[in-house]
Homo-oligomer: A and B are copies of this chain.
């Protein structure tokens, strides 16, 4: 039996176009004699649909579009489509009104529906908000083959692999008892660094533990803060990868269930892109993160209806990296860099920013803000009498720049990209309504030390070659980020001679403290015991707690770590914990 994974990139809520994507994949698959086509979790509405699921008319539309899709599919192909199914017993038995389901479509109609059994409610996941868990093992028979169906989290409870249980049941145990021939998993698994490796090693463990081949179909694409990296794959019963789809791109991958061997093998026809082959995973974390960020910018812009972006270019490393990402994502002709020097700006900041723009091939404008600074000083003269220059005046500069950037974005219909990194967002070293302005915070989950690493990788890599890299940068010369941008001490340049390390510990120290605090949930005692200075640790913890009000008002930031300041970060603002402790 020939099986295909459609690694699709749906737009949330765009039911008609998402159905069309599924239909297109089914047609190509059918032409290649595919018998079973897999699509990602909730492929009809895109994942995560969030509170759109609370609209009864949205649920009705999904049912209608699903029925229409079933009728339009080519003959002789079974298609598994991710959708939701009303829980008809909810009001009587108690329970949530929907199931997160997979519909088996064939012969013009819905043949069977399967419900997700394990519902994640951690980090960015809120599935219990909408869904009732399914209670039964999901399997069906197609041409004498018995196929187990699981949805994303259903396969994330292998207590042998994790060393603990997260849920009382493990659906794969039930499927093994049903003696299925192979198991499919339809997923929408958000990206973080190394996630594809984790998925493969987890499912390799499950495949060999239960002696069952597994086909894993993942969503691809950026949806607000979440990136779905694709990297779908198929494992044989010993846990070997027999096929793998691209990272960060749509794909259609064929595999075959060999009925003699009773196992999955690569498909042997060759008319499809990527068919039968094992796409390589990104080689380094930097390459991987770069791919995620480029996809995140491209999809956010496209799905929100923007083709062009504007970025404030300070001459610093953060805005340089964001400009490079945007150029790769959208083409340098669609990126506009605005330089807004103040009297406190260094000469090199203009020179560096212009050199970067030239390297990237992006257009720039220079809008000095000195006169506007004077204008605010005059307007506030009486109110600010007898006070001295401080944070308020620094913030005014940042907010002048934010206003100019938004004016250009509003005037020409551009998307403003903000350029703050995670280290800044963590300690509040950023200006709300100033440099935090933007529709998307491209590197808000990228620590400063990783910003450096990405820029060095970019300069070494040079881009322009390889399937993973975008053709838009092919004409760019080797060193994209000017050396001086990487080597000079980072500075907000909001007062004369200012550098970041006047206010903050060195970034390697800061990022290590933040990693322990945010990702590893360590206490101050534990962080100090790891060798950090107590005063520094306590100050950083206070800064992180006090910056919560800024983060609450930040744009969505592309998530690349296991704990981003986004939908998976839910902290009170008016709180005393970290301030006291």
Task: Say yes or no: B16 contacts A580, CB within 8 Å.
Answer: yes
Task: Say yes or no: B55 contacts A523, CB within 8 Å.
Answer: yes
Residues on B with C-beta less than 8 A from A167 are: 94-95
Q: Is A339's beta carbon under 8 Å from chain B?
A: no
Task: Say yes or no: A383 contacts B403, CB within 8 Å.
Answer: no
Q: CB < 8 Å: which of B58, B129, B378, B555 contacts A553?
A: B555
Q: Mark A121-165, 1 if CB is under 8 A from B, else 0.
A: 110001011000000000000000000000000000101000011
Q: Mark A221-254, 1 if CB is under 8 A from B, else 0.
A: 0111000000000000000000000000000000
Task: Say yes or no: A378 contacts B371, CB within 8 Å.
Answer: yes
- The CA-CA distance from A570 to B13 in the complex, in Å, is 14
A-B interface, 8 closest residue pairs, ranked by CB to CB distance from nearest: A13-B577, A94-B165, A57-B523, A303-B574, A14-B576, A91-B164, A392-B411, A392-B410
Q: A376-B404, A395-B410, A407-B376 are in contact. Are A572 and B122 (CB under 8 A)?
A: no
Residues on B with C-beta less than 8 A from A549 are: 304, 439, 555
22 contacts between A and B (CB under 8 A): A12-B574, A13-B575, A13-B580, A14-B577, A49-B572, A55-B523, A58-B577, A61-B581, A94-B157, A122-B129, A129-B570, A224-B574, A367-B383, A369-B379, A372-B379, A375-B375, A376-B403, A376-B404, A392-B408, A395-B406, A402-B433, A433-B437
Task: Say yes or no: A94 contacts B403, CB within 8 Å.
Answer: no
- The CA-CA distance from A15 to B579 in the complex, in Å, is 12
**Considering only CB atoms, which chain B residue lies closest to A391 in the complex?**
B410
Chain A interfacial positions (CB closer than 8 Å to B): 11-17, 48-52, 54-58, 61, 90-95, 121-122, 126, 128-129, 157, 159, 164-169, 222-224, 299-300, 303-304, 365, 367-369, 371-372, 375-376, 378-380, 382-384, 387, 390-393, 395-396, 399-400, 402-404, 406-408, 410-411, 432-433, 437, 439, 521-526, 549, 552-556, 567, 569-578, 580-581
- The CA-CA distance from A91 to B61 in the complex, in Å, is 41
A448 to chain B, nearest CB (A): 23
Task: Say yes or no: A403 contacts B411, CB within 8 Å.
Answer: no
Given contacts A12-B576, A52-B572, 13 further A-B contacts (CB under 8 A): A12-B577, A13-B578, A15-B580, A55-B523, A57-B523, A126-B126, A304-B549, A304-B574, A384-B407, A391-B410, A392-B407, A392-B408, A400-B403
Residues on B with C-beta less than 8 A from A93 are: 165, 168
- The CA-CA distance from A403 to B165 in the complex, in Å, is 51
Task: Say yes or no: B399 contacts A406, CB within 8 Å.
Answer: yes
- The CA-CA distance from A403 to B432 in the complex, in Å, is 10
**Considering only CB atoms, which chain B residue lies closest to A576 in the complex?**
B14
Task: Say yes or no: B407 contacts A403, CB within 8 Å.
Answer: no
Task: Say yes or no: A365 contacts B383, CB within 8 Å.
Answer: yes
Q: A403-B376, A404-B380, A411-B390 are in contact. Are A521 and B396 (CB under 8 A)?
A: no
Task: Say yes or no: A50 contacts B571, CB within 8 Å.
Answer: yes
Task: Say yes or no: A403 contacts B410, CB within 8 Å.
Answer: no
**Considering only CB atoms, which chain B residue lies closest to A119 in the complex?**
B128
- The CA-CA distance from A576 to B312 in the complex, in Å, is 29
Residues on B with C-beta less than 8 A from A91 are: 164-165
Residues on B with C-beta less than 8 A from A94 are: 157, 159, 165-169
**Considering only CB atoms, which chain B residue lies closest to A569 in the complex?**
B51
- The CA-CA distance from A524 to B55 in the complex, in Å, is 11
Task: Say yes or no: B57 contacts A576, CB within 8 Å.
Answer: no
A394 to chain B, nearest CB (A): 9
- The CA-CA distance from A258 to B371 in the complex, in Å, is 77
Q: CB < 8 Å: which of B121, B299, B393 contacts A128?
A: B121
Task: Say yes or no: B383 contacts A570, CB within 8 Å.
Answer: no
Residues on B with C-beta less than 8 A from A387 are: 411
A402 to chain B, nearest CB (A): 6
Q: CB < 8 Å: which of B61, B304, B575, B576 contacts A573?
A: B304
Q: A382-B365, A383-B365, A556-B573 are in contact. Are A14 and B56 (CB under 8 A)?
A: no
Task: Say yes or no: B552 contacts A555, CB within 8 Å.
Answer: yes
Residues on B with C-beta less than 8 A from A432 are: 406
Residues on B with C-beta less than 8 A from A392 are: 407-408, 410-411
- The CA-CA distance from A407 to B378 in the complex, in Å, is 13
Task: Say yes or no: A299 contacts B403, CB within 8 Å.
Answer: no
- The CA-CA distance from A223 to B573 in the complex, in Å, is 8
A13 to chain B, nearest CB (A): 3
Task: Say yes or no: B384 contacts A12, CB within 8 Å.
Answer: no
Residues on B with C-beta less than 8 A from A49 are: 572
Of A12, A432, A570, chain B has the most CB atoms within 10 Å of the CB of: A570
Q: A128-B128, A166-B94, A552-B556 are in contact. Are A577 and B396 (CB under 8 A)?
A: no
Residues on B with C-beta less than 8 A from A223 are: 572, 574
Task: Say yes or no: B572 contacts A12, CB within 8 Å.
Answer: yes
Residues on B with C-beta less than 8 A from A572 are: 12-13, 48-50, 52, 223-224
Residues on B with C-beta less than 8 A from A577 are: 12-15, 52, 55, 58
Residues on B with C-beta less than 8 A from A402 are: 399, 433
- The CA-CA distance from A157 to B403 in the complex, in Å, is 50
A256 to chain B, nearest CB (A): 35
Task: Say yes or no: A380 contacts B396, CB within 8 Å.
Answer: no
Q: CB < 8 Å: which of B51, B408, B411 contacts A571?
A: B51
- The CA-CA distance from A49 to B574 in the complex, in Å, is 10
**Considering only CB atoms, which chain B residue lies closest to A377 in the complex?**
B407
Residues on B with C-beta less than 8 A from A303 are: 574-576
